[in-house]
Amino acid sequence: MEIDLAGATIGLEGASNPLVEAALAALRANGGQIVGRAQPADILLVSCALRPGTAAEDPSILYAAARKMAMAMTVRGGGRIVFLLSVTAGMPVRRHPRFSMESASILAGMRTLAMEFGPKVLVNAVGVGAVEDEIAGDKAMLSHTPVGRAGSIEEAVAVVLFFCDPLNTYTSGQMLGVDGGWMAGYGRNF
């Protein structure tokens, strides 16, 4: 997917992982410029835990950093914030109750930011399901995924680009699940 970021600055909050690195590379390839942490940015990626059992920053710390950037974006005239989080934010799993709850709290925080800082700042989330090489999700998800396979990093990055595209001016407060239909509930029994 190609978009024209025309030199937009891109910041990151949260831990890096292969999906984050691919998203940053794609944004850079489309004209974006990566800036250091806590520097003003036109686009902020907020990297959250993508699978149960992985170490992650406290959701309240990520929310506070995103809110601070949203305030700065508002003063500068606008911006985009994209959360990368587990699809369990929208559909909890019995096997991982705490992880599901933490992911859902991040989703609620994302929507709160969208309400508070719209229309100047668009805030959305990419809900990532099972992704190749166990970067995201839980292997058990695959038996309940209608497309019958793990997703690719590139498929998740395409959604990040969609949310960052300057032509996308009306989508805010949404989580788009890149999960092969897992949230549809296909044969779920866990």
By the 8 A CB rule, do 67 and 87 touch? no
Q: pLDDT grade, residue 147 (50/70/90)?
A: very high
Residue 22 pLDDT: 98
Question: Is the bond preceding 119 in cis, omega lying within 30 degrees of 0?
Answer: yes
183-to-32, 38, 116, 127 alpha-carbon distances in Å: 32, 34, 27, 10
Alpha helices in 86-166 (DSSP H): 97-117, 153-164
Nearest to 177 by CA among 105, 129, 134: 129
pLDDT at 99: 92
Question: What structural domains does the chain harbor?
Answer: 9-179 (3.40.50.720)
Tell me the mean pLDDT in the region 30-56.
92
**Whether the predicted pLDDT of 186 surpasses 70:** no
Mean pLDDT computed over 126-150: 89
At residue 25, the pLDDT reads 98
> What pLDDT does 32 receive?
98
Q: Contact at 8 Å (CB) between 84 and 160?
A: yes
Confidence bin at 190 (pLDDT 50/70/90): low
Q: What is the pLDDT of residues 166-181, one digit of tens each?
A: 999 999 999 999 999 9
In this model, does residue 43 exceed pLDDT 60?
Answer: yes
Task: List Cα–Cα distances, 36 to 10, 66, 160, 186, 187, in angstroms.
Answer: 9, 14, 19, 42, 44
User: Can you tell me whether residue 122 is helix, strand or coil?
Assistant: strand
Span 71-85, pLDDT tens digits: 999 999 999 999 999
Is 90 exceeded by the pLDDT of residue 37?
no
pLDDT of residue 188: 59
| Segment 83-97, tens digit of pLDDT | 999 999 999 888 889
- Residues whose CB is less than 8 angstroms from the CB of residue 85 and which lie 6 or more positions away in sequence, other chains included: 48, 49, 50, 103, 106, 107, 110, 125, 126, 127, 128, 175
67 or 133: which carries more pLDDT confidence?
67
Q: What is the mean pLDDT of residues 175-189?
A: 83
pLDDT digits (tens, 9 = 90+) for 1-15: 899 999 999 999 999
